[in-house]
Amino acid sequence: MGDAALTHATRGIPVFPCNPENKRPLTAHGFKDATTDKDQIRQWWQRWPNALIGMPTGAVTKVFVLDVDNDPLTGKDGESSLFQLVNGHGSLPDTVEAMTPRGGRHIYFRHPGGDVRIPNSASKLGPNLDIRGDGGYVILPPSRLPDGRCYAWEGSSDPTEGARSAAAPDWLLNAVLAPPTAEAPSAQTSAAPDQIESGRRNDTLFRLGRSLRAKGLTDGAVLAALRAENLAKCRPPLPDAEVAALAQSVCTKPPGGSAESREPDEWPDLVRLDTGRELPRLRPDLLPGWAGRYAAALAIATETPPELAGALTLAACSVPCARRMSVMVAPGHFENTNTWLAVALPPGNRKSAVQSAVCAPLVAWEREQAEIVAPKIAHAQSEAKTLQVRANAARASAAKTTNTAEIREATNLAADLEGQVPEIPALPQLWTSDATPERLGALLAEQGECMAWLSSEAGLFDLLAGRYSNGIPNLDLVLKAWSGDAERVDRGSRPPVFLLRPRLTIGLSPQPDVLRGLSMRPGFRGRGLLARFAYLLPPSPLGYRQLGADRPGARVPEGLAAEYDAGIRAMLEWGPVNSANSANSANEERPRLLRLSPAAYAEWLDFARAVEVRMRPGNDLESMTDLAAKVPGTAARYAAVMHGIEHAHGAPWETPISIDTMGRALEFAALTLEHGIAVMGLMDADPELAAARKVWQWLERGRRVDATVRQVFEGLKGTFPRVAALESALDTLVERGYVRVVEARRDGPGRKPSPTIEVRPELAEAWR
């Protein structure tokens, strides 16, 4: 894609990168960032190698585009609309055309230039016929969607090869430039699936206007939207004066209206449940090198979301990084390289299998190191026993004599011998999945102040909430082990240990229901525990897996597994800068320091400033500043770990972190921030609101415009054990304007029919 983008730029076409998932611009200012600068284009596609190639339309590129939206899967039939448009007005000239991945067309026309401005429009010329003009953009061939389908030039019409777009015929140009009040040029007579027939036009437009008004749109915006909807869908369109009267009626009524002022068929204002928030997905190739290849293959083999394998792999790679490295973001701003990651998935998603796979090299390394250390431990234990026996004998000798000099000599000997008893080395341990906070402190003291908690469950939260301390939260150690602040650990019978720079890595995959209500636990939100985690909330694939050992990709290729194992082991073999020659030498190791390249720092700073703006009063992160404020710092940690992956077999501290690595880290940080917003909402969720969401999702999945209460209960009886619980959820949906419940009439003796649930018309309309 990068080479193709450079080819377009060489021929004078400004381009910019777009997200292959949703075709939205990846740059800060969208199509306004389009350029022919080759260095900038190389940087973009090094950062986003699979990005689609966007091109602004309008005077800047001297073209406008007729977008014929044709998609058999969704019923869009722009070709029929185009046929009827041409049949009623005249043919189109031969010009540049591109085929879109879903069977549509982009038809290029020469921009008229001068002071003429081509407006963008949707379905103005007919259903599924859009115009991309000034202020718009299109995707250029050979851009490829994630499923492999491509944009392609029709025949030899590639404009970069010398072909030129034709001028639009007068009738088309007049229709494109006509104000919204003009008669639509469509000559069709039969109704398309999304058309509004006579008898429904007034009511449908009125409801749309009320919905838009409730969202805060101005009078002018409501009028413009109703005019566009009228011309695009009403058959035949209402007179413009009638549309204006409808808009005036909508805008002069109080927003929502009181119950007394509403018309009998009018719905209350819609109060959103926010169930439709589509969270971004993790690119399987986001992690670099061998770690990314392994995580992608593991996700395919286990049929789990890429977020699970990707996040747990990143956590596993963070374990060796946290032992040896820290990163300097800027003078005076340092970050450790331990990370806290939580991927929420329901039971049955093979979370344990994924965790076991990513931890396998850590387990193998621990076992091998234990075999190496075992003789030293045995020798130390034997020496300790011998010295203790001799000390006991000296003490017994002192007890048997009354000679003061002999007592003093035997006592001193016992003390000297006990002072020579060596401390038994601990078996090397990198991670745990179950430890009390007190034991966790001891592990940190024994293992060079570095430890990981990796688990497919969320028992950590119960332990921190005070499972073994009468419900008193025990958060101090883990909070300090995130930032590396000094902490004193009392180890029972042994002398206390001062942890100078404890680092704790966490990788969890809890059930979503476990997260619900966590923010209500004492100290969890207020002291910043929850804000330190990066969250991912992927959709569960249960019910859609292929299963079977003979399916493609059912096993991770041995070469990739060996490559992953070798990479983790190489990172574990990195040495410290130095260690003091003392009994507590592990605690005195100094970390290797990573630095950012100037370009990487500039990229990080832009990201940090963008997050900062979103935390201002009135912006979307105003109520989540605890979560958002930590995102730039954790992004630097991700960059350090990814840099460690890239240089696992070398010395990562000898090379600054590149802009490409920082770009990957910032993409991951931005992804976890969006997921974190959703998770924080889940943590704060009211149980009744959560129940209402489940009912609405059931209706939405089945595209049910109506259903009886009995049908809903049968469909969700695994969630609602009694009808009374379902009725409470329905009350919430009614209160928020999503549905209304119509009581059924009894036509004769017998059981009364179940009430009918009717879905709000404009919401149901979106499903058709």
**Is 690-765 the same fold as 308-373+426-683?**
no
Q: What does the alpha-carbon distance between residue 267 and residue 762 come to, in Å, rounded to a whole number?
A: 10
Q: Which of 11, 16, 22 is nearest to 47 (CA)?
A: 16
Tell me the residue ranges of DSSP E strands in 619-736.
706-708
- The reply to whether CATH 1.10.10.10 applies to domain 690-765 is yes
pLDDT at 271: 67
Which of 691, 748, 696, 693 lies closest to 723, judged by CA? 691
- Of 558, 570, 639, nearest to 361 (Cα)? 570
Check residue 183 and give its pLDDT: 40
Reported as a single tens digit per residue, the pLDDT across 593-636 is: 999 999 999 999 999 999 999 988 878 888 789 999 999 999 99
Cα distances from 352 to residues 319, 348, 413, 512, in angstroms, run 18, 9, 54, 16
H/E run at residue 166: strand 166-167
pLDDT of residue 584: 42
From 717, 739, 734, select the one nearest 726 (Cα to Cα): 717
Task: Single out the residue of 468, 469, 433 nearest to residue 451, CA to CA.
Answer: 433
3-state secondary structure of 739: strand
Given a contact cutoff of 8 angstroms between Cβ atoms, the answer to whether 423 and 393 are in contact is no
What is the per-residue DSSP string for 124-147? SSSTTEEEE-TT-EEEETT-B-TT
3-state secondary structure of 389: helix
Tell me how far apart the alpha carbons of residues 724 and 169 are, in angstroms, rounded to a whole number. Answer: 64
Q: How is 43-112 classified by DSSP, letter by letter? A: HHHHHSTT-EEEEE-BTTTTEEEEEE-EETTTTEEHHHHHHHHHHHH-PPPP--EEE-TTS-EEEEEE--
DSSP code of residue 27: S
- Radius of gyration over every alpha carbon of the chain, rounded to an integer in angstroms: 33
Rounded to whole angstroms, the Cα distance separating 142 from 150 reads 6
Q: Could you tell me the residue ranges of all domains in the chain?
A: 57-177, 196-252, 308-373+426-683, 690-765
Which CATH code fits 57-177?
A: 3.30.2250
Residue 187, Cβ density class (10 Å: 0-12 exposed, 13-18 middle, ≥19 buried): middle
Q: What is the pLDDT of residue 156?
A: 54
Question: CA 94, 98, 100: angle at the middle one, nearest 5?
Answer: 140
Domain 308-373+426-683 sits in CATH at 3.40.50
Which value, to the nearest 10 degrees, does the dihedral of the CA atoms of residues 548, 554, 558, 559 take? 160
CB 444 within 8 A of CB 504: yes
Strand partners, 52: 18
C-alpha span between 290 and 562 (Å, rounded):
10
Residue 422, preceding bond cis, omega within 30 degrees?
no
Q: Kindly state the tokens that stand for 63.
A: 């073209």
Report residue 396 CA to chain centroid gap. Answer: 68
The pLDDT value given to residue 149: 85
**Contact, 310 vs 564, CB < 8 A?**
no
CA geometry: angle 434, 439, 443, nearest 5 deg? 95
* 709 neighbors 308 (Cβ within 8 angstroms): no
* φ, ψ at 201 (rounded to 5°): -65, -50
Residue 333 phi, psi (nearest 5): -120, 105
Q: How far is CA 447 from the centre of its chain?
A: 33
pLDDT digits (tens, 9 = 90+) for 507-557: 999 988 788 767 767 778 888 889 999 999 998 898 888 888 888 888 999
Rounded to whole angstroms, how far apart are CA atoms 241 and 243? Answer: 5
Q: Which residue ranges of the chain lie beneath pLDDT 50? A: 161-162, 181-193, 199, 254-264, 275-276, 579-587
Q: Is 567 left (phi over 0), alpha (psi -120 to 50) or beta?
A: alpha
The full length of the chain comes to: 768
End-to-end Cα distance, the chain:
35
Output the CA–CA distances (angstroms, integers) from residue 351 to 177, 291, 465, 500, 511, in the order listed: 56, 18, 24, 34, 10
pLDDT at 192 (0 to 100): 38
